[in-house]
Amino acid sequence: MKVLVVGSGAREHAICWRLAISKHVSHVTCAPGNAGIATCAEVVPVAATAVNELLALVQEKGIDLTVVGPEVALEAGIVDLFQAHGKAIAGPSKAAALLESSKAFAKEVMVAAGVPTASYEVFTAERELRDYCHKKGAPLVLKADGLASGKGVFVVTDATEFESAFQQLFGPLHAERVVVEEFLDGVEVSCIFACNGRDLIPLAPAHDYKRLRDNDEGPNTGGMGSVCPSPRISGAELEWIQERCAAPILTEMAKRGNPFSGFLYAGLMVPRDPSRRPEGIRVLEYNTRLGDPECQAILVRLTSEPTELFQWIAGVRNEKPTLSWRKEVSTCVVIASDGYPEGVAKGDEIVGIDLAGLVPDAIVFHASTSANEKGRLVSNGGRTLSVVGLGNDVESSRRVAYKAVDLIQLRGRRVRRDIGS
Ligand code: AMP
Ligand code: GLY
């Protein structure tokens, strides 16, 4: 089978890597890919949002199945277009992907489906938003209603921080609508469900680290590391989450004529106090794709056939696959370039990847990398690499990951040292 993977991050590198070692896959193409993906797939320079060109690519190359990584391709309508041309594709339609691309829509669906979530208000006028926030006071969470790569959310814990949040929201983010939520305390877990419109299969739960710096300090990022399976929830809690936080969304979306197929990623806040679990668990958000960096930690543990899963999602396979996982734990550590997540440096040479790849049980996935004119590997802005370690427990998996991370050099790199601790 020939497969196309759409995207260019470490998530897509992990998907390509996992597909490339499947005995059912004869050829992997990735668009637009990156320098690391080029080692396990044919990389074609077509942007993830150039959906017509991607369709032409699939038709030309006789590709049997397409797997979509990033939300921007979903929002550009890639799934609708491919399906209209009879091409198998694993991902949600544009209308179903609204669960991620509009926070206000997601909230409305959650309420209709009876999913436990933080209470909220939606504002379109800056004046009303300001009045509301100052009246309510901190803590509150302000979210731009649109895709912002994890950077449109402001957790305001002190009233003095409101002003800078307003300036960002109505300045660079050009927010037309802002969702204001009750602040929830706890630990975060990402539960991702493979869905085929009617039914769902839980992937191994993971958690990621959204803040830039150790001890969850600094600005929100796309994610600086992950652990799978997450020790933060039990098997019984995952079942509760499936029943209360994922299955009702499938029912609700189907009722609205927009059945959800693809990966439904529930970002959850889990109370620290075990006596408040599972009833105190709340959905923070949905994403309509695999998480990055959760995907890297999840896929290195997947031992069952990945094409069966993607085909089932795409609706070209009826039999529900049974997923199996390596017993080891995985820890993924992200290496971001200087300045991330604000102004990011590009073009800095990356040294030591080959050595890092020799660390037993370590795997290096590329995100924003490219080759410079001398053929040297350089950073291309933002999150640059994801380094995954496998071990018998979280501690040993993080030791493997950091051993490999420490063999890599990149000027001014940003790395959290507390992933998995
Ligand atoms: P979101 O994109 O909605 O997941 O928000 C990004 C991050 O902001 C989350 O991963 C949380 O760390 C934080 N966050 C979002 N909503 C809340 C909330 N209601 N209470 C506390 N933290 C939140
Ligand atoms: N790791 C968070 C995300 O993929 O949105």
Section 269-284 average pLDDT: 97
* 294 CB within 6 A, ligand 1: no
Residue 149 has pLDDT above 80, yes or no: no
What pLDDT, in 10s, does the model give residues 229-262?
999 999 999 999 999 999 999 999 999 999 999 9
CATH architecture for segment(s) 119-182? 2-Layer Sandwich (3.30)
What pLDDT, in 10s, does the model give residues 200-230?
999 999 999 999 999 999 988 999 999 999 9
Residue nearest to atom 10 of ligand 1 (CA): 210
* 223 CB within 6 A, ligand 1: no
Query: Three-state SS string across the chain, please?
Result: CEEEEEECCHHHHHHHHHHHCCCCCCEEEEEECCCCHHHCCEECCCCCCCHHHHHHHHHHHCCCEEEECCHHHHHCCHHHHHHHCCCCEECCCHHHHHHHHCHHHHHHHHHHHCCCECCEEEECCHHHHHHHHHHHCCCEEEEECCCCCCCCEEEECCHHHHHHHHHHHHCCCCCCCEEEEECCCCEEEEEEEEEECCCEEECCCEEECCEEEHHHEEEECCCCEEEECCCCCCHHHHHHHHHHHHHHHHHHHHHCCCCCEEEEEEEEEECCCHHHCCCCCEEEEEECCCCCCHHHHHHCCECCCHHHHHHHHHCCCCCCCCCCECCCEEEEEEEECCCCCCCCCCCCECECHHHHHHCCCEEEEECCEEECCCCCEEECCCEEEEEEEEECCHHHHHHHHHHHHCCCECCCCECCCCCCC
Q: How far is ligand 2, taken at its centre, from the CA of residue 390, in Å?
A: 21
Residue 150 has pLDDT above 70, yes or no: no
What pLDDT, in 10s, does the model give residues 299-350?
999 999 999 999 999 999 999 999 999 999 999 999 999 999 987 889 999 9
Section 95-116 average pLDDT: 95
Neighbours of 105 (CB within 10 A): 15
Q: Name the CATH code of domain 2-90 (choices 3.40.50.20, 1.10.287.10, 3.30.230.70, 3.30.70.260).
A: 3.40.50.20
Q: How far is ligand 1, taken at its centre, from the CA of residue 119, in Å?
A: 13
Q: How far apart are CA 62 and CA 80, in angstroms?
A: 19
Task: Give the pLDDT confidence score for residue 146 in this predicted structure.
Answer: 77
How far from 82 is each of 6, 142, 315, CA to CA, in Å? 13, 35, 13
Contact between 117 and 296 (Cβ < 8 Å): no
Give residue 151's pLDDT band: very low, low, confident or very high (50, 70, 90). low
* 180 CB within 6 A, ligand 1: no
Residue nearest to atom 2 of ligand 1 (CA): 150
232-259 b/e (C-beta count within 10 Å ≥ 16 → b): bbeeebbebbbebbbbbbbebbeeeebb
Ligand 1 pocket: which of 71, 110, 121, 284 to mutate (most atoms within 8 A of CB): 284
Nearest ligand, measured from the Cα of 107: 1
Nearest ligand, measured from the Cα of 271: 1
How far from 242 is each of 137, 194, 278, 414, CA to CA, in Å? 34, 11, 12, 35
Q: How far is ligand 1, taken at its centre, from the CA of residue 190, in Å?
A: 12
Q: How far is ligand 1, taken at its centre, from the CA of residue 322, in Å?
A: 32
Residue among 421, 4, 3, 1 at smallest CA distance from 216 = 421
What pLDDT, in 10s, does the model give residues 182-193?
999 999 999 999
Q: How far is ligand 1, taken at its centre, from the CA of residue 32, in Å?
A: 30
Q: How far is ligand 1, taken at its centre, from the CA of residue 330, in Å?
A: 24
Q: What percent of the chain has pLDDT over 90?
A: 94
Residue among 149, 192, 208, 194 at smallest CA distance from 388 = 208
Give residue 103's pLDDT band: very low, low, confident or very high (50, 70, 90). confident
Kind of pairing, strands 362-366 and 383-391? antiparallel
Q: How far is ligand 1, taken at its centre, from the CA of residue 284, in Å?
A: 6
Nearest ligand, measured from the Cα of 146: 1
Q: How far is ligand 1, taken at its centre, from the CA of residue 153, in Å?
A: 7
Q: Which residues pair with 378 in a beta bridge?
A: 349, 370
- Reading the block at residue 41, the tokens are 């797939």
CATH architecture for segment(s) 187-314? 2-Layer Sandwich (3.30)
Contact between 307 and 19 (Cβ < 8 Å): yes
Same topology, domains 2-90 and 187-314? Answer is no
Nearest ligand, measured from the Cα of 155: 1
- Return the minimum-mean-pLDDT range out of 76-85, 121-130, 146-155, 170-179: 146-155
pTM of the model: 0.95
* 149 CB within 6 A, ligand 1: no
CB-count burial class (<10 Å; 0-12, 13-18, 19+) for 142: buried
Neighbours of 384 (CB within 10 A): 30
Residue nearest to atom 8 of ligand 1 (CA): 153
Parse the chain into domains and list their residue ranges: 2-90, 119-182, 187-314, 329-410
Contact between 94 and 223 (Cβ < 8 Å): no
Closest atom of ligand 2 to CA, residue 149: 5
Task: Give the pLDDT confidence score for residue 14 in this predicted structure.
Answer: 98
Q: How far apart are CA 6 and CA 72, in angstroms?
A: 10
Residue nearest to atom 7 of ligand 1 (CA): 153
- For residue 57, the number of C-alpha atoms closer than 13 Å in the C-beta half-sphere is 25
Task: Kindly list the strands in the beta sheet with 200-202, ordered across the sheet, starting from the edge strand earlier in the chain.
Answer: 200-202, 187-196, 261-270, 282-287
- C-alpha dihedral sign at 58, 61, 63, 68: negative
Residue among 190, 214, 206 at smallest CA distance from 331 = 206
Q: How far is ligand 2, taken at its centre, from the CA of residue 293, in Å?
A: 7
Q: Within 6 Å (CB) of ligand 2, which residues are found? A: 150, 208, 222-223, 287, 291-292, 294
Residue nearest to atom 1 of ligand 1 (CA): 285
Ligand 2 pocket: which of 292, 334, 365, 419 to mutate (most atoms within 8 A of CB): 292
* 267 CB within 6 A, ligand 1: yes
Q: How far is ligand 1, taken at its centre, from the CA of residue 216, in Å?
A: 12
Q: Name the CATH code of domain 329-410 (choices 3.40.50.2020, 3.40.50.150, 3.40.630.30, 3.90.600.10).
A: 3.90.600.10
* 396 CB within 6 A, ligand 1: no
* 156 CB within 6 A, ligand 1: no
Contact between 182 and 118 (Cβ < 8 Å): yes
* Mean per-residue pLDDT over the chain, rounded: 96
Task: Give the pLDDT confidence score for residue 359 in this predicted structure.
Answer: 98
Q: How far is ligand 2, taken at its centre, from the CA of residue 406, in Å?
A: 24
